[in-house]
Structure 1
């Protein structure tokens, strides 16, 4: 038992499917594996946050960071979703998505053109982070999500900056991943057509760092900028 061993229960290997996370189309591409969801989230930079304001849907792109089974987002205390989250009781219902496009699928027919992709959709309620320690942890995670190791190599936010910054959290509970892999799915009668077909892979990675003009002479390029992003 937990009280005897002192161990912390580990989360299940998969997220439980719900009515909102089971797709109505191409359901065979859906997956609820926790490690896959985490890997897709950790590889991304930008998420899209959807919510309802005054009866109308709003979707905003923003940065995010993951700490265990929580996602954190930040922005100005005056920004619309962050202000609404602080005012809502018990929180702001949201839908968050992250998508990677891995390849363009070029078919012989226009109808069968597609993309290979990996995506995550998170449904839940976003809450305003008010605990100072959790807020600092969240902001460090946001910086390190973009460039791993960067939070320890930059000045942390001061009191004035922290007061002007709002942070919200979204727990990973109602979550699904979806992906397309593989090649072209042309009709058998189109295979002889004289049109090139196949995959056009897309790659993401760091370019060569460009130093700020005001950088102090002799400041070296950090090692984490010259290594590939994990």
Structure 2
């Protein structure tokens, strides 16, 4: 889940929206995260951010933030408590995607970003009404930053020398990771078993999330 912030000239406050997005490159579809990519976001055709972008062909400035918690860091004193986390912030300008091929590319990219291979296991391509009601933004990234915290608690020297305090207060890290539960069939589902691609993704993603939380225990 991304949090996208922008300025609305009709509001005294910056706006922040939770949105779904995915990094990619329509011009270079084989590019990976080691290359310079663009960010694709999708939204309802008449939403505020889409309307603002439509009115600004040169693009509107956006700040996009994402964060993930890997552990609760419990120290001797409240001030030394922390979180193990990974976070990133991107700054760029959003323009409206008008090309149908690029729009379909972005929609497939975002769908498969939720569950790999999901696009090809649904009714595709979207029909005319779905294409008309959905808009896609392409964000050209200007700059960005990343920040993370890993490892164990770190307390002040004075507290570390207080043996009685150390015997009284438990310190350490509670690992945190997101777990996907067993898929629950919808009311009109007629597929007998959970598809293999979904089952395998759920198991693999859970294992990877637990392993990553464990890795963040290291300094």
Q: Give a deviation string over 1:143-170, Cα, whole Å, max 9, x none.
A: 1001111011011211111001111011
CA contact (8 A) 1:48 1:60 kept: yes
Matched, 1:200 2:168: no
Inter-partner Cα distance in structure 2 for 1:184 and 1:136:
47
Inter-partner Cα distance in structure 1 for 2:57 and 2:134:
20
What stretches of structure 1 move > 6 A for 4+ residues in a row?
Answer: none
Matched, 1:188 2:143: no
Residue equivalent to 1:224: 197
Residue equivalent to 2:31: none
Deviation at 1:47, TM superposition (A): 0.3
Residue equivalent to 2:82: 114
Residue equivalent to 1:35: none
Deviation at 1:80, TM superposition (A): 0.8
* 1:53 aligns with one of 1, 4, 8: 8
Q: Cα RMSD between the aligned structures?
A: 1.4
Structure with more of its chain in helix, by fraction: 2
User: Under a length normalisation based on structure 1, what TM-score does the superposition of the two structures give?
Assistant: 0.76
Deviates most, 186-195 or 162-171: 186-195
Equivalences for residues 113-152 of structure 1 within 5 A = 113-152=81-120
Deviation at 1:224, TM superposition (A): 2.3
Structure 2 CA distance for partners of 1:89 and 1:116, relative to 1, 3 Å: same
Deviates most, 161-170 or 208-217: 208-217
Residue equivalent to 2:21: 64
1:161 is paired with a residue whose SS is helix
- How many residues were matched structurally? 184
CA contact (8 A) 1:66 1:145 kept: no
Matched, 1:101 2:69: yes
Inter-partner Cα distance in structure 2 for 1:89 and 1:215:
43
Unaligned segments of structure 1, at least 5 residues: 1-45
Inter-partner Cα distance in structure 2 for 1:217 and 1:200:
39
